[in-house]
Amino acid sequence: MASDTTYTVGPKAAHAHTQTVIFLHGRDSNCREFADELFESEASEPADQPRTLPDLFPGTRWVFPSAPTLQSERFGTDMSQWFDMWSVENPGECPELQHPGLHQSIEQILGVIKKEEMLVPRERIFLAGISQGFATAIAVLFAAAPRGFAGLIGLCSWMPAALRAEDVQSFEGTSDDKSTLSTPVFLGHSIDDDVVPIKNGRDLRDTLQSRRLQVEWREYEDGGHWVNEPQGVDDIAHFINSHMLDK
C-alpha cells in the first residue's frame, strides 16, 4: 500500500525558496522520524551558532516522502520499504523481489519531483537518500532521464539489483544523456557501517563511475549506518554549496 505522506521543512521565515532537497529515508523508517534525526546532526562550522542543515541552508525546502508499506517476503510481515529485497548485505540476491516495489516507488518520487518543479526548476532540485532510499534515488535518476538534477546525495547505500538486470530496459535506455551524466553525485559511507557493508558502497561508486557519472566519494572511520558527524555533514554542505545556482 502506497503512502501519500510527505513531510516538508523550510524555507525559513523571511528567506526566499532557492532550492529543494528531496530526501528518501531508509527501510523500516518513516519521513518524520528520519527528518528529525537528520536535523539533529551538525556541521563543524560556524562555531557557537546553529549549524544543522536547515540552519546552513535557510532558503532550502526539504522534502521527505514516505515509503510505501510492502510485504517483506523474507520476514513475512508488512514494513515501510521502497521495494522488497532479500538481503541488504547481498543486495543482488533474489532481484525479482525488487522490481514491483521499485517501479511503484519510482512513480511516486517522480510525482513528488513534478510537484516541486512547480516551485523551482529541476536544476535547483537535489535528490538524496540513505540506504535503500538512495538505492531508489539512483533508479529515479535513470528513470527521469533525459533530465538530470542539481545533484544526488547518497549515504550508506548500494546499487539496486534491478538496475543491473538486463531485462530492466526502461531504466537504461537514456542513461547516456548529457543531462543525466552531468548530474554530480556525492556518496558518503562509514567503514564501521554494520548494516550496509562498505564494500557495497564502493561497488556503487565504481558502477556509477563506469557509467561516466562524476562521483565524489567519502569514507569515514566511524559513523555507523548514518551520516558521520561533523565531517560528513560538512561534506554534504560543501557539495550542496558547490552545486547551487546563484551561489
Cite the DSSP H helix spans in 67-131: 98-116
155: domain range? 6-243
- Phi–psi pair at 106, nearest 5 degrees: -60, -45
Does any domain span residue 58?
Answer: yes
Record the pTM.
Answer: 0.91
Return the C-alpha cell found at 98.
525488487
Does any domain span residue 19?
Answer: yes
Which CATH number goes with the domain that contains 131?
3.40.50.1820
Residue-wise pLDDT tens digits, 161-180: 877 543 334 444 444 555 66
> Cβ atoms within 10 A of the Cβ of 39, count?
14
Residue-wise pLDDT tens digits, 178-220: 566 789 999 999 999 999 999 999 999 999 998 889 999 999 9
Structure confidence at residue 1 (pLDDT) = 39
Does any domain span residue 192?
Answer: yes
Return the C-alpha cell found at 239.
557539495
The amino acid at residue 141 is: L
Residues of the chain where predicted confidence (pLDDT) is lower than 70: 1-4, 164-180, 246-247
Does any domain span residue 12?
Answer: yes
Does any domain span residue 18?
Answer: yes
**Domain count across the chain:** 1
Return the C-alpha cell found at 236.
554534504
Does any domain span residue 1?
Answer: no
DSSP reduced 3-state for 24:
strand
| Cα 124 from chain centre | 16
Residue 116, burial from CB neighbour count under 10 angstroms (0-12, 13-18, 19+): buried
Does any domain span residue 208?
Answer: yes
